[in-house]
Amino acid sequence: MIKAEIKHRFPDFALDVSVEADDGLIALFGPSGSGKTSVINAIAGLLKPDHGRISIQDRVLVDTERGIYVPPHQRRIGYVFQDARLFPHLSVKENLLYGQRFVSDGRDLGPVVDLLDLGQLLERRPVKLSGGEAQRVAIGRALLCAPQLLLMDEPLSALDARRRDAILPYLDRLHSESDVPIFYVSHAMAEVARLADHLVLLRQGRVTRQGLASELLSDPAAVPDIGVREAGAMITTHVAQPDAGDGLSELSTALGTLLLPRLSMPKGAAVRVRVLATDVILARERPVGLSALNILPATVETVHEGEGPGVAVALASGSDRLLARVTRRSARALDLTPGASCYAIIKSVSVAPQSVSASSREDQ
Ligand SMILES: Nc1ncnc2c1ncn2[C@@H]1O[C@H](COP(=O)(O)OP(=O)(O)OP(=O)(O)O)[C@@H](O)[C@H]1O
């Protein structure tokens, strides 16, 4: 359990947040200037808050009331920045070992090298690494300090889309195989949705919402904070048939089959699929003669009207949740009110490969 209550006033900005989350990956999401970096800097000890209390498990790092302030180097926190910040004169191996030198019980190099696939890179100098490789080394170095908590501040934002996609599976693996809780800062919802267990939405220095990512992502009231184009629920499912013969894979959902462009995952693998609200079409009758392959029966749970022409509709399809964005006009014409039964239609090709990731927990 991680708890952070932080109040701090900069000349032009006030931060007032309270975050409480179980271990796992806690994502801080918000627009530029909303205070994300300030929150993790306070946790790392790079920002001394005016008022606050920060604890990891039962270890209190900051309690301004009681005059407790553990200095940064004693916090056992690993920090991965946007840029890798490796020592250019040291090899990859020496950079990794640098992480270990501060702690007597640092982790063995071997498992971290395996986890992040660094074996081929050990003798190289940072100048010979791609941006994604350098970031993997930076993550490895942070892990080798045997941290109690890993802070990652936009670790992919300096990478191009191809390199980002290449490193995401390592973050999936880090998340599912390492027991170190992670605070992950990002303004890219695709990354957050893929990785987060707990989601904290920040705006102008305050938490607007927080909770289990699976619940918050399908909450229509959170759409304004997430952004209408980025909003979308997660379906946790498993691969029923990796190769359906025509370039598609079959996934089993609570109430039907989801066909997606072929996944490189084995039969039975648990997966998380992010389905954008703008990619879901609703119909009251089961449509026929339609090119879209995925038609899932669903029930309307709530309808959230925003200020624009669209409404966000939360749907239950068995135990799965979906979010659809339709126009206010369609919502009225179809009489989409809580309890209405309908069909959610999802085009297979609209689900990007990056929206599908290995799920660390079958029961999510
Ligand atoms: N040391 C500082 N002195 C004065 N103001 C600061 C300081 N650090 C941060 N701020 C202000 O606090 C606000 C929040 O900054 P912060 O970097 O925490 O936001 P962020 O959400 O991480 O933004 P981004 O996504 O752009 O990195 C900004 O308005 C910034 O100008």
Residue with token string 């399809």? 317
Ligand 1 contact via 13 beta carbon (within 6 Å):
yes
pLDDT at 363: 38
How many angstroms separate the CA atoms of 229 and 233, rounded?
12
CB 183 within 8 Å of CB 137: no
Check pLDDT > 50 for residue 61: yes
Q: Considering the chain, what is the average pLDDT of its residues?
A: 89
Q: Whose CA is nearest to atom 18 of ligand 1?
A: 35
Q: Whose CA is nearest to atom 10 of ligand 1?
A: 10
pLDDT at 362: 41
How far does residue 326's CA lie from ligand 1's centre (Å)? 35
Q: Whose CA is nearest to atom 9 of ligand 1?
A: 38
The interface predicted TM-score of the complex, written ipTM, equals 0.95
Q: Whose CA is nearest to atom 7 of ligand 1?
A: 10
The model's pLDDT over 274-290, given as tens digits with 9 standing for 90+, comes to 999 999 999 999 998 88
CB-count burial class (<10 Å; 0-12, 13-18, 19+) for 83: middle
Exposure letters 255-284 (e unless 16+ CB within 10 A, then b): ebbbbbeebebeeeebbbbbbbbbbbbbee
The model's pLDDT over 209-260, given as tens digits with 9 standing for 90+, comes to 999 998 899 898 898 889 888 899 988 889 999 998 888 999 998 878 899 9
How far does residue 161's CA lie from ligand 1's centre (Å)? 25
Which domains does the chain carry? 2-216 (3.40.50.300), 232-358 (2.40.50.100)
pLDDT at 232: 92
Ligand 1 contact via 107 beta carbon (within 6 Å):
no
Tally of CA atoms within 13 A in the half-sphere of 317 that contains its CB: 31
Average pLDDT for residues 284-305, to the nearest whole number?
92
How far does residue 303's CA lie from ligand 1's centre (Å)? 35
How many angstroms separate the CA atoms of 7 and 276, rounded?
34
Q: Strand pairing of 232-241 and 270-276? A: antiparallel
pLDDT at 303: 94
Secondary structure (H, E, C), 275-325: EEHHHEEEECCCCCCCCCCEEEEEEEEEEEECCCCEEEEEEEECCEEEEEE
Average pLDDT for residues 28-48, to the nearest whole number?
95
Ligand 1 contact via 33 beta carbon (within 6 Å):
yes
The more confidently predicted of residues 106 and 17 is 17
Confidence of residue 134 (pLDDT cuts 50, 70, 90): very high
Ligand 1 contact via 249 beta carbon (within 6 Å):
no
99: left (phi over 0), alpha (psi -120 to 50) or beta: alpha
How far does residue 279's CA lie from ligand 1's centre (Å)? 34
pLDDT at 227: 87
User: Taking the alpha carbons of 234, 237, 239, 243 in that order, is the dihedral positive or negative?
Assistant: negative
DSSP class of residue 106? P
Ligand 1 pocket test: pick from 15, 19, 34, 79 the residue with the most ligand atoms within 8 Å of its Cβ: 34
Long-range contacts of 114-118 (CB under 8 A, 24+ apart): 115/140, 115/143, 115/170, 115/173, 115/174, 115/177, 115/178, 116/140, 116/170, 116/174, 117/170, 118/92
Which structure tokens are listed for 253?
A: 């959902």
How far does residue 158's CA lie from ligand 1's centre (Å)? 18
Ligand 1 contact via 38 beta carbon (within 6 Å):
yes
Ligand 1 atom showing the smallest separation from residue 187 Cα: 25
Q: Is 73 helix (H, G, I), strand (E, B) or coil?
A: helix
How far does residue 257's CA lie from ligand 1's centre (Å)? 45
The model's pLDDT over 79-112, given as tens digits with 9 standing for 90+, comes to 999 888 899 999 999 999 886 766 555 567 888 8
Average pLDDT for residues 149-155, to the nearest whole number?
93
Helix ranges (H only) for 85-221 are 92-100, 109-115, 131-143, 161-177, 189-195, 213-216
Residue with token string 């954008």? 276
